[in-house]
Amino acid sequence: MTKPKDPGSSDHRSDHPSDHPSDHPSHEAAEDGDYVHPRPGLHVPAPGGGLVQDPEWYRKAVFYEVLVRGFYDSDGDGTGDLRGLIDKLDYLQWLGIDCIWLLPFFQSPLRDGGYDISDFFTVLPEYGDLSDAVELISEAHRRGIRVIADMVMNHTSDAHPWFQESRRDKTNPKADWYVWHDDDHRWSEARIIFIDSEASNWSWDAQRGQYYWHRFFHHQPDLNYDNPAVADAMLEVVRFWLDIGLDGFRLDAVPYLFERDETNGENLPETHAYLRRVREEVDRLYPDKVLLAEANQWPSDVVDYFGDGDECHMCFHFPLMPRMFMAIRREQRYPITEILAQTPSIPDGCQWGIFLRNHDELTLEMVNDEERDYMYAEYANDPRMKVNVGIRRRLAPLIDNDRRVGELLHGMLFSLPGSPIMYYGDELGMGDNIYLGDRDGVRTPMQWTPDRNAGFSKADFARLYLPPLMDPVYGFQAVNVEADLRNPSSMLHWVKRMLEVRHQHPVMGIGSFELLTAENPSVLAFNRTLHNEQTDEHDVVLCVFNLSRFAQPVELQLAQYEGLIPIEMLGHVPFPAVGTLPYFVTLAPYGFLWFNLVERP
Partner 1 sequence: MIDIDVLAGLLGGHLVRQRWFAGGEDEAPSCKVVTLETLVEGPPALLRVLVEAAHGGDAALYQLVIGVRPAGGHEEFLSGRPEAVIAMDMETEMGPALVYDATADPELTVALVNAVVPGTDAERGRLVSTESTHTSMVFDERLIMKLFRRLGAGGRNPDAEITRALTMVGFANVATPVAEWRDEVNDYAVVSEFLVGGADGFSLALTSLRDLYDCRCDPEEAGGDFAPDARRLGAVTAKLHLALAEAFPAVRADASHWAEVMEERFVHASLAGIDPALVHAVFDRLRSVLRAGMAIRSHGDYHLGQVMRTDAGWFVLDFEGEPGSSLEDRLELSSPLRDVAGMIRSFHYVAQVALRERAEAIDERIVSLSAAWERRSKYAFLEGYLGVEGIGALLPPGELDQDVVFSAFELDKAIYEVGYEQAHRPDWVGIPLAAVARIVGSV
Distance CA 256, CA 273 (A): 13
Closest contact distance (angstroms) between CB of 327 and partner 1 is: 10
User: Is residue 364 at the binding interface for partner 1, with CB under 8 A as the rule?
Assistant: no
Say if residues 41 and 64 touch (Cβ distance below 8 Å): no
Distance CA 279, CA 456 (A): 38
Q: Which is nearer to partner 1, 30 or 341 (CB)?
A: 341
Q: Which is nearer to partner 1, 550 or 584 (CB)?
A: 550
User: Is residue 513 at the binding interface for partner 1, with CB under 8 A as the rule?
Assistant: no
Q: Which is nearer to partner 1, 66 or 518 (CB)?
A: 518
User: Is residue 517 at the binding interface for partner 1, with CB under 8 A as the rule?
Assistant: yes
Among 522, 527, 546, 596, binds partner 1 (CB under 8 A): 522
Q: Which residues contact 414 (CB under 8 A, 6 or more apart)?
A: 62, 420, 498, 499, 502, 508
Is 129 in the active site? no
- Report the 10 Å Cβ neighbour count for 582: 16
Q: Residue count at the site for partner 1 (CB under 8 A)?
A: 34
Say if residues 434 and 391 touch (Cβ distance below 8 Å): yes
Structure letter (DSSP) for residue 181:
E
User: Is residue 381 at the binding interface for partner 1, with CB under 8 A as the rule?
Assistant: yes
Q: Which residues contact 73 (CB under 8 A, 6 or more apart)?
A: 79, 80, 81, 84, 445, 456, 457, 458, 459
User: Is residue 548 at the binding interface for partner 1, with CB under 8 A as the rule?
Assistant: yes
Closest contact distance (angstroms) between CB of 322 and partner 1 is: 14
User: Is residue 378 at the binding interface for partner 1, with CB under 8 A as the rule?
Assistant: yes
Which listed residue (252, 304, 361, 440) is catalytic?
Answer: 252
Amino acid residing at 353? G
H or E segment and range at residue 377:
none
User: Is residue 557 at the binding interface for partner 1, with CB under 8 A as the rule?
Assistant: yes
User: Is residue 349 at the binding interface for partner 1, with CB under 8 A as the rule?
Assistant: no
Say if residues 234 and 211 touch (Cβ distance below 8 Å): no
Distance CA 515, CA 229 (A): 49
292: left (phi over 0), alpha (psi -120 to 50) or beta: beta
Amino acid residing at 343? T
Closest contact distance (angstroms) between CB of 335 and partner 1 is: 10
Closest contact distance (angstroms) between CB of 385 and partner 1 is: 9
Among 46, 580, 599, 600, binds partner 1 (CB under 8 A): 580
Among 459, 515, 577, 598, binds partner 1 (CB under 8 A): 515
Q: Which is nearer to partner 1, 348 or 400 (CB)?
A: 400
Which runs of E-coded beta strand occur in 26-88?
A: 63-66
Closest contact distance (angstroms) between CB of 134 and partner 1 is: 48
User: Is residue 368 at the binding interface for partner 1, with CB under 8 A as the rule?
Assistant: no
User: Is residue 550 at the binding interface for partner 1, with CB under 8 A as the rule?
Assistant: yes
User: Is residue 559 at the binding interface for partner 1, with CB under 8 A as the rule?
Assistant: yes
Span of 71-79, 154-162, 187-195, 556-564 interacting with partner 1 by CB under 8 A: 556-564
Distance CA 352, CA 345 (A): 10
User: Is residue 402 at the binding interface for partner 1, with CB under 8 A as the rule?
Assistant: no
Closest contact distance (angstroms) between CB of 126 and partner 1 is: 43
- For 259-324, give the secondary structure using H, E and C: CCCCCCCCCCHHHHHHHHHHHHHHHHHCCCCEEEECCCCCHHHHHHHHCCCCCCCEEECCCHHHHH
Q: Which is nearer to partner 1, 152 or 541 (CB)?
A: 541
Distance set, CA 92 to CA 63, 191, 449 (Å): 11, 40, 16
Q: Which is nearer to partner 1, 83 or 329 (CB)?
A: 329
User: Is residue 19 at the binding interface for partner 1, with CB under 8 A as the rule?
Assistant: no
Span of 28-36, 40-48, 315-323, 380-388 interacting with partner 1 by CB under 8 A: 380-388
Is 252 in the active site? yes
User: Is residue 198 at the binding interface for partner 1, with CB under 8 A as the rule?
Assistant: no
H or E segment and range at residue 409:
helix 403-413
Say if residues 416 and 354 touch (Cβ distance below 8 Å): yes
Q: Which is nearer to partner 1, 123 or 339 (CB)?
A: 339
3-state secondary structure of 509: helix
Closest contact distance (angstroms) between CB of 549 and partner 1 is: 8
Q: Which is nearer to partner 1, 93 or 522 (CB)?
A: 522
User: Is residue 18 at the binding interface for partner 1, with CB under 8 A as the rule?
Assistant: no
User: Is residue 41 at the binding interface for partner 1, with CB under 8 A as the rule?
Assistant: no
- For 189-240, give the secondary structure using H, E and C: CCCCCCCCCCCCCEEEECCCCEEEECCCCCCCCEECCCCHHHHHHHHHHHHH
Which listed residue (132, 205, 222, 294) is catalytic?
Answer: 294
Per-residue binder mask for partner 1 (CB under 8 A), 301-340, x = binder: ---------------------------xxxxxxx--xx-x
Distance CA 506, CA 59 (A): 9
Q: Which is nearer to partner 1, 383 or 472 (CB)?
A: 383
DSSP codes, 548-588:
SSS-EEEEE--GGGTT-EEEETTTTEEPPPP-SSPEEEEE-
Q: Which is nearer to partner 1, 314 or 554 (CB)?
A: 554
Span of 8-16, 490-498, 545-553, 592-600 interacting with partner 1 by CB under 8 A: 545-553
User: Is residue 588 at the binding interface for partner 1, with CB under 8 A as the rule?
Assistant: no
Sign of CA dihedral 483, 485, 486, 488: positive
Distance CA 121, CA 340 (A): 40
Span of 44-52, 82-90, 295-303, 378-386 interacting with partner 1 by CB under 8 A: 378-386
Closest contact distance (angstroms) between CB of 546 and partner 1 is: 11
User: Is residue 529 at the binding interface for partner 1, with CB under 8 A as the rule?
Assistant: no
Distance CA 488, CA 483 (A): 10
User: Is residue 277 at the binding interface for partner 1, with CB under 8 A as the rule?
Assistant: no
User: Is residue 267 at the binding interface for partner 1, with CB under 8 A as the rule?
Assistant: no
Per-residue binder mask for partner 1 (CB under 8 A), 382-401, x = binder: xxx-----------------
Q: Which is nearer to partner 1, 67 or 408 (CB)?
A: 408
Report the length, in residues, of the chain.
601
Say if residues 565 and 501 touch (Cβ distance below 8 Å): no
Q: Which is nearer to partner 1, 103 or 541 (CB)?
A: 541
Site of interaction with partner 1 (CB under 8 A): 328-334, 337-338, 340-341, 374, 377-378, 381-384, 515-522, 548-550, 557, 559-560, 580, 582
Q: Which residues are catalytic?
A: 252, 294
